[in-house]
Structures are given as C-alpha cells and as structure tokens.
Amino acid sequence: MELDAISIEQRDEQDQLAHLQQFFSLPDDVIYLDGNSLGALPKSVSAALTNAVEEQWGKSLIKGWNCHNWIDLPSKVGDRIAKLVGADEGTLVCADSTSLNVFKVLATAIKMRPSRKVILSDTGNFPTDLYMAQGLKGLVSEDLELRLVAPEDVENALDESVAVMMLTEVDYRTGRKHNMKELTEKAHAVGALAMWDLCHSAGAFPVHLKAAEADFAVGCSYKYLNGGPGAPAFVYVAPQHKNAAGNPLTGWMGHSAPFAFDLGYEPSAKTDQMRVGTPQVLAMTALDAALDVFDQTSLEALQAKSIELSELFISEVKRRCPSLELASPTDPYKRGSQVSFCHEHGYAIMQALIDHGVIGDFRAPNIIRFGFAPLYLTYANIVKAAEILGEIIAGNLWDTPAYHRKSKVT
Ligand SMILES: *Cc1c(COP(=O)(O)O)cnc(C)c1O
C-alpha cells in the first residue's frame, strides 16, 4: 500500500500536464469525473464574459457587431475547433445545438442522394440524433427509413439503399469507439455519405475528420471543450460538398449577403451557409475563452494521460468493487475518454458517490459513468475516487431512500 501511494504521488509530480490544472476553477472538496457531460469552468471564462458584457455590450452597444467582430465569431471559434478535430480552416462553424446541426446535415445529405431512402445508424447512438432523423421522416419523405442496427453490425448493414450513415464516434453509455476512417471508407464504397457526431470526441483525443474523409460532422462544446452549460455546437462540411450541400434551415445568417436584405434566399458559398440566425455572442465568447487551454497542449498528450487515468481507475475499481461489471471496452484505444460500469443499483450508488464528493453520472438502465478530463484531473484524484466508491459499495451506503429518488437530470 505504501509503495502504491508513493508511486501515485510520483506520477502526479512527473505529469507533464499538471500545470494545466491551474487554469480551471473546481471546488476543493470535489473530484470531478463528469467532464464528459459538462466540462469544468476554465478561469479565463469569467473574465472574458465580464469583458463581453460590461465593455463590449455595455459600452459599444450595437457597434459591437463590427468593432468586436461578433458577427464572425461562428467562423473564428469554428476554426479553433477545426484544429482540434483535424479539419481545415473554413470548413467548420460554431452554431446552434448539436440536435439542430444533426437535422441540417441529415436533410442536406438526403438531398444529395435523392434516389436513396435509408439513414443508417446504430442502437448505441445518442437518442437526440435518432429523434432528429425520425422528425425528418414526415417532412422530407414518408419513404425515409431510419435503419438501426447493433454497433458491431454497421459495416454489414451498409448497402446501396443507404443515403447517409449517421454515427456517433464514441458511445455515450459504454464509451465504445467506432473506427471512423474504416467505416467512412465502407460507406463511400457503397455510395453513401458519412456523418459523424463528435460530442464525446472533440477535445478528448485526436480526431482526423479530413484524413478519414468524413463528409459531415457535428458536435457539442460543453463536454470536453468546456464551453459551459448550453454552449453552442459545431458543424463540419467537407470542402467538396460546400456547394452541393444546402442547409434546409435557410436563415439570413446562412445567406451570401445577409445585409443586402434581398427577398430571395441565396446560400453563402462558405461553410457559413450552415448558420441560421443571430449567433449566441455571450455563449460563444465563453467558449472562445475556454478553448485557450488547448493551445498549451496537444490532443495526443491529453489522450495519453486519459488512458493512464482510465486504466488506473479500472484496476483500482476492479480490486475494490468486484460487484461492478466493466461495460467499456478493455482496449483503451477502442474507447473514448470515459469508463462505465454496470450495477442494478447504479442510480443509487451514483447518488451516494456524488454526496461523498465524487461526481460521475448515471445512464439508464444500469450504467454508472466516469469521464476523464486530463486537463484538470490528477492521478491521486483517481485513486481517491475509487477508494470512496469501494467504501460506498462495501458498506451499502447507497441503500437509503434519498439515494433512490430520481432527479429530472441524471
Ligand atoms: C451530448 C450529446 C448530444 C447533445 O445534443 P444537444 O443538442 O446539445 O442537446 C447529442 N449527441 C450526442 C452523441 C451527445 O453525446
């Protein structure tokens, strides 16, 4: 035990990313293992928001659109995110929510494959993506089919009826990671388009949208990118589709000349065509500031530490909590930056854990989920979290009525 403790201390001392912790504001009595759901607060955000509100909005008023360049925030912030997901400058904009961006991209993709009627996805996809596809059915065509298969069957389900393969790279429950490059290649081989949801990828590990030849991508910025609750999402369009693509939500900010106030819609020739209405300036300012910390490290370094943290957590939890069953792939390269376990009383266990200062979350029906954000976690955090989890399970501390009561958000 003594030896273990020393080696953990040494790992923290030798951690090349340890200096990044100071850029985050976290309560002292909390170990935060939910950065995969809502990233922690970067200290730079408060100052940026105060400045945007008091100096920019307060003093410049409407002049801010030009003098503080608010109007270009979607492409400016988009270019910063593009760098983190292996996309070229000018191919990604920050706008709206992930759900809305899924809708725009799906409708566009279906238009690009008019003779095909199938959206192919898997049962591990996040429900909102599937719901958006279902909403398109009545709108675009009654023949449209959302074909759902098990994640491991996607490859075999690709055929010439598929217009677009819509997948989330990392499964929100298990953390299982699809092979983006391989599946995109298979989709293209049958003439289908490939759309990737990067909600659990962006900011967590290197993503190579361009190298994988993805056609479209969407993602949110409040998880590993730390943009804050409800932060605006992003949408990527491969350069070769810029003209073919057509955002069905034809708002003025996607127009080629919004301030010409023409009566007819003319899409922008740039990725800006994926924009709809007025950008959320305050939220985008917060996100812009949150992204600063990524200039100080690389996604390769973040992934390497994430793997060490998650492997350490799995081995500590295995040792202390034999009743928890690992729900994530054991190969760290086949999962995102999260680890999940199954337990029939998972909900109550997670509530007890949160009450004891370790924040993770619960996903129905029986998954407890832990995210590893290497920007602000230490190795000692991981060991301590596993120790507390072990005590809660060994002592049945979760088994009280208060911990069984379900909240609106789990
Ligand atoms: C978090 C998440 C979303 C969230 O969509 P919103 O529109 O931001 O609510 C969508 N897709 C996936 C895969 C997610 O993990």
Ligand 1 and 224: CB distance under 6 A: no
pLDDT the model gives residue 137: 86
Give the CB-side neighbour count of residue 344, counting CA atoms within 13 A: 0
Ligand 1 and 131: CB distance under 6 A: no
Overall residue count recorded for the chain in this entry: 410
pLDDT the model gives residue 6: 66
Instruction: Indicate if the pLDDT at residue 410 is higher than 90.
Output: no
* 371-408 pLDDT, tens digit each: 999 999 999 999 999 999 999 999 999 999 999 999 88
Which numbered atom of ligand 1 lies nearest the CA of 200? Answer: 15
Task: Report the distance separating Cα 108 and Cα 126, nearest Å.
Answer: 20
In the reported structure, the alpha carbon of residue 266 is separated from the centroid of ligand 1 by a whole-number distance in angstroms of 30
* 284-303 pLDDT, tens digit each: 999 999 999 999 999 999 99
Task: Report the distance separating Cα 259 and Cα 149, nearest Å.
Answer: 46
Residues 6+ apart with CB under 8 A from 347: 362, 403, 404, 406, 410
Show the domains of the chain with their CATH numbers: 3-32+297-404 (3.90.1150.10), 48-295 (3.40.640.10)
Rg of the chain on CA atoms, in Å: 22
Residues 6+ apart with CB under 8 A from 392: 349, 352, 353, 356, 398
> What is each CA distance from 173 to 125, 262, 303, 325, 371, in whole angstroms?
9, 46, 19, 14, 11
Instruction: Indicate if the pLDDT at residue 320 is higher than 90.
Output: yes
193: β partners: 164
Smallest CA separation from ligand 1 atom 5, residue: 98
User: How much of the chain, in percent, has pLDDT values that exceed 70?
Assistant: 98
Q: For this structure, is 318 an active site residue?
A: no
Smallest CA separation from ligand 1 atom 2, residue: 199
221-238 mean pLDDT: 98
145: β partners: 118
Instruction: Indicate if the pLDDT at residue 142 is higher than 90.
Output: no
Ligand 1 and 172: CB distance under 6 A: yes
Q: How confident is the model at residue 3 (pLDDT cuts 50, 70, 90)?
A: low
Ligand 1 and 197: CB distance under 6 A: yes
> What is each CA distance from 19 to 14, 15, 376, in whole angstroms?
11, 9, 9
Ligand 1 and 199: CB distance under 6 A: yes
The dihedral sign for the CA sequence 215, 373, 363, 230: negative
Q: For this structure, is 129 an active site residue?
A: no
- Across the chain, mean pLDDT equals 96
User: How much of the chain, in percent, has pLDDT values that exceed 90?
Assistant: 94
190-219 mean pLDDT: 98
Q: Any idea of the CA torsion for 361, 366, 372, 378, to the nearest 10 degrees?
A: 80
CA-wise closest residue to 399 among 347, 358, 354: 347
Pocket test for ligand 1, best of 96, 180, 220 (most atoms within 8 A of CB): 220
Instruction: Indicate if the pLDDT at residue 361 is higher than 90.
Output: yes
* Strand arrangement, sheet containing 118-122: 92-94, 234-237, 216-219, 193-197, 162-168, 118-122, 145-149
Sort strands 367-371 and 338-342 into parallel, antiparallel or unpaired.
Answer: antiparallel
pLDDT the model gives residue 245: 64
pLDDT the model gives residue 4: 63
pLDDT the model gives residue 244: 75
Ligand 1 and 297: CB distance under 6 A: no
Sort strands 162-168 and 118-122 into parallel, antiparallel or unpaired.
Answer: parallel
Smallest CA separation from ligand 1 atom 10, residue: 98
Task: Report the distance separating Cα 103 and Cα 99, nearest Å.
Answer: 6
Q: How confident is the model at residue 2 (pLDDT cuts 50, 70, 90)?
A: low
Which numbered atom of ligand 1 lies nearest the CA of 98? Answer: 7
pLDDT the model gives residue 205: 98
Q: Do 238 and 187 form a contact (C-beta atoms < 8 A)? A: no
